[in-house]
Amino acid sequence: MFKPTEQFAHELDQQDQLKQFKNEFYIKDDHIYLDGNSLGLMSKRAEQSLHHVTEAWKNDAIGGWVSGEYPWFYLSEDLGKQVSSLVGGKPEEVVVTGSTTSNLHQLVSTFYQPKGNKTKILADELNFPSDIYALQSQLKLHGYDPDEHLVRVKSRDGRTIDEDDLINAMTDDVALIILPTVLYRSGQLLNIEKLTKAAHERNILIGFDGCHSVGVIPHHFHEAGVDFAYWCHYKYVNSGPGGVAGLFVHENHFDKTPGLTGWFGSNKEKQFDMEHTFTPALDAGAYQIGTPHVLSVAPLIGSLELFEEAGIEQIRAKSLHATAYLMYLVEKYLLEYGFTIGNPKEDERRGGHVCLEHDEAASVCKALKDYNVTPDFRAPNVIRLAPVAFYVSYHDVYRTVQILKEIMEKKVYKQYKNERDVIA
């Protein structure tokens, strides 16, 4: 399937149906950016849409709320309709709002309704810390001890979570389940359909954190019956640092009043009646708490244009091919230097990044940066490399592996301390 030569990398690039999109992004000459799973690069379209919105503010002032190409009053819902194609939701089930963690607080405050002995929240021990902090906080607000009521399913290998272990933990005392779509360290893709079906068979609501999958993996949240989901847009969706997040609520739950209510969750026709009785929107828009962060959401307008042109299925196909190619080259050139692959190798279980493990991972990452390659370090020993379909070429992947080989052969990594910087 693959060949270990540089010429083969060039051949793959010639066949790449998405290769033209690299020109849409700002990337320094001779630089390889493999950290799009933490922060995506700026696209020229995102820059243009940000400029468009600032011009509307400059020229229209308050009129920008209801006039122009992107009226701000409806922006969160309109963008939600576009994002819905990335997550497999109906247009009315998705809204662009808040941050990942504020959306999680909103959703848990809505869907966590402890009753009788059904009081526990189920998560996993490899989950991203912010999610765990939010769940601990929500339990405390209900008067429960997180040590007793937050169940974290253990990993068998320190890298992945077995779906059967999760299902076995879905006991009668569990009221709510919060899981990642993709584990942030290892890149394991969980079987969302299987887990949702198992949860519902046990009368448990289930929600997913899609931060490490939305924009690189097609989802089918509505069809799978997922109760709710939440995610950021600044990783694979390239909306910029602090970009506004998104959430999905299945239409089966549109009769619920959000746990945290705010003015912008109102029915749009009633919002400016200024009544002290909350009349929620009849869709996911009800889950907005505050005024849309218009300037922070503006780059998403341009970014989504690229997804519409490329198609999420094609993005996933290239991502799978590029990560498989990267793993092939690692096995060909790097195993003798102590590297291991920590992510699942099967396509159906792999997210958008490759998880390389090495005892000197932090120092190797520092060396890579001085070779103009941007990786991502996660303690204690993980190098995450994301060949993002839009702007990472196959030749970039090949060069990265050759640079890693040189770093190890010449022991360049020994020049650096094997400890993370303030921001890893």
| Bind-site residues for pyridoxal 5'-phosphate | 100-101, 128-131, 209, 212, 234, 263, 291
Let me know: does 105 contact 111? Beta carbons within 8 Å.
Answer: no
| Bind-site residues | 100-101, 128-131, 209, 212, 234, 263, 291
